Structure 1
Amino acid sequence: MAQYRWLITGASSGQGAEIALAALRHGYHVIGTARNVVKAKEDYPNLEALGGVWLDLDVTSDDTQAIVERAVKEHSINVVVNNAGYGLRGVLEDLSMKQIRAQMDTNFFGAVAVTKGAIPTFRERGGGIIVMISSASGFTGTPSQSMYSASKFALEGLSESLAEELAPFGIRVLIAELGAYRTPFQSAVDKPSNIISEPYKGTIADKTAQRITAGHGKQAGDPAKAAEAIIEVVTGECRGVNLRHVLRLPLGKDAVQRARSKIESFTRDIDSCKQLAEWASFDTSWDGYPPLESSADA
């Protein structure tokens, strides 16, 4: 069995902690990052008890890339999981630019810095795996969470491009799109009564926020199973034996249903617009993007 050595950001709570502990139980080496290592050790003593190591890291700090690059080299890390993030609730009109930038700094630019820290060593070694923890809201936008969705959409666009860029070097990218999972994630999100302003009361944004809040603690998604699924797809073992080629891994029945609905809607739009879309071109033989052969097809 290959030895996988993991670095997992945001391992001090929720899904990140579940992935870290599951990887350790599989016998893998794990570095879990946290903004507050002292608190992380108190909340999750099992990480060190199982042989894991904590690393002090705020993914929004200027030295994130350098810290990750050093850790990847020193600990021979070959799997990096970009899990650190949080959910910002509220309609766009009501959100301040400070809130918006903070959301993107953590959920997107933090993942960019971590990934940039891992790539050079992975490329030089000829391999590695980068796991992006995304969301069903990164494939289908969610009213009342427009900026959270935007941060995950950005992460997915980055990941699609990276998968092509890094494939020649043996580096794999996997996007895990989680649906509603029973973690503390939603408990840290502002409640609808605090963030939905009067003009939006009763709209789809308000109703969606109310529904998400009411469902906290009752979500169908099992975070331990999600962690196991990610590990199996990364390693190509058990239920993941035939899934090492996938770019996207939707997790949860709701994630699958939302993805299918999005694809059906997108297909209807393409079919409806096909004639107009193809008309809006010069009469030339060049087919444009994407390239004729992608690394995914090779």
Structure 2
Amino acid sequence: MRSILISGASQGLGAALAGAFTRRGDRVFSGVDTRREGMPDDVPLNVRWPDSVEKAVDEVARTAGGIDILINNASMHLHGSLATLDQDAFKETLDVNLLGAWRLTKAALPHLRAGSTIAMISSLSALVGLPEDGAYAASKFALEGMSQSLAAELAPLGLRVLVFEAGRIDQEFPGASGGEAPETIAEDIAALIDRRDTPFRNPIGSTARDVTAALGADDGSRAAIIAQGVARRGTVGHQD
């Protein structure tokens, strides 16, 4: 039985992912704001607070003996033109969507078993910046860049990093209604995590696949080859 920790699992895609893996016979620890009655494997988790992250990871590791799959799903959406955004709200979006995933991954790393998977729930907004979507796009573009570096760093340790880019999902984000059902998206993601030949970047849903194909987006293979070549030649130079 695998042990799985999912952030942002109280509703929407996170709850659907918890259901998908539970049906597979896995033990799922759902990161939620507050424990729910009758849900013994709920874990209080706020990815913005290091103490909360450490306590949640320690609880899962103590209970299950380790973590086989970490799913960074916690996310927030900030709708509006970049010229009108509130700075604190923009910072909060980056704090949850980018730094939240970093905090949770960093805390979980010592408890990941050999062959474990770290899954980052991204978005088509990581590939195309749409109007009124700049803050969310910035957070998801950054998440994928961070994840690509992480994948290269962890591969020698036998740990895998996967990114999942879904199109519009019918959940409680502004403007998100009318998309694909979270349960459908969750089943697709779970099936890909179960496979060992899944590439780094994975479009989820027909719209995502169409957009990715139109852009000719790399599934991670080309970037990995380039990264290996750069690493052999030495440290990349930086300009201040």
TM-score category (smaller protein): 0.7 to 0.9
Partner of 1:113: 103
Taking the aligned partners of 2:25 and 2:190, their CA distance within structure 1 comes to 12
Residue 144 (structure 2) aligned to one of 156, 168, 175: 156
- Cα offsets for 1:38-89 (capped at 9, x unmatched): 4xx4xxx6xx3xxx60001111013144224413422222100000111100
More strand by share: 2
Distance 1:171 1:72, change over 3 A: farther
- Cα offsets for 1:77-126 (capped at 9, x unmatched): 2100000111100111101110111101111111100000111222xx43
- Given the alignment of the two structures, is residue 81 of structure 1 paired with residue 71 of structure 2, yes or no? yes
TM-score normalised according to structure 2 size: 0.85
Task: For structure 1, list consecutive stretches of 5 or more residues without a partner in the other structure.
Answer: 190-212, 237-242, 267-288
Residue 60 (structure 1) aligned to one of 33, 42, 48: 48
Equivalent position amino acid for 1:119 in 2? L
Contact 1:128–1:170 under 8 Å retained in 2:
yes
More helix by share: 1
SS in 2 for 1:148: helix
SS in 1 for 2:31: strand
Tell me how far 1:293 sits from its aligned partner: 8.1
> How many residues end up aligned between the 2 structures?
222
Taking the aligned partners of 1:127 and 1:68, their CA distance within structure 2 comes to 22
Rg larger for: 1
Alignment of 1:243-262 (within 5 A): 244-262=197-215
Task: For structure 2, list consecutive stretches of 5 or more residues without a partner in the other structure.
Answer: 219-225, 232-240
Partner of 1:234: 193
TM-score normalised according to structure 1 size: 0.69
Alignment of 1:136-155 (within 5 A): 136-155=124-143
Taking the aligned partners of 1:262 and 1:142, their CA distance within structure 2 comes to 15
User: Where do 4+ consecutive residues of structure 1 move more than 4 Å?
Assistant: none
Equivalent position amino acid for 1:36 in 2? T
Partner of 1:281: none
Taking the aligned partners of 1:87 and 1:173, their CA distance within structure 2 comes to 23
Taking the aligned partners of 2:228 and 2:26, their CA distance within structure 1 comes to 38
Taking the aligned partners of 2:78 and 2:61, their CA distance within structure 1 comes to 34
Residue 93 (structure 2) aligned to one of 97, 103, 113: 103
Tell me how far 1:245 sits from its aligned partner: 3.5
Taking the aligned partners of 2:31 and 2:107, their CA distance within structure 1 comes to 14
Partner of 1:181: 169
Contact 2:29–2:42 under 8 Å retained in 1:
yes
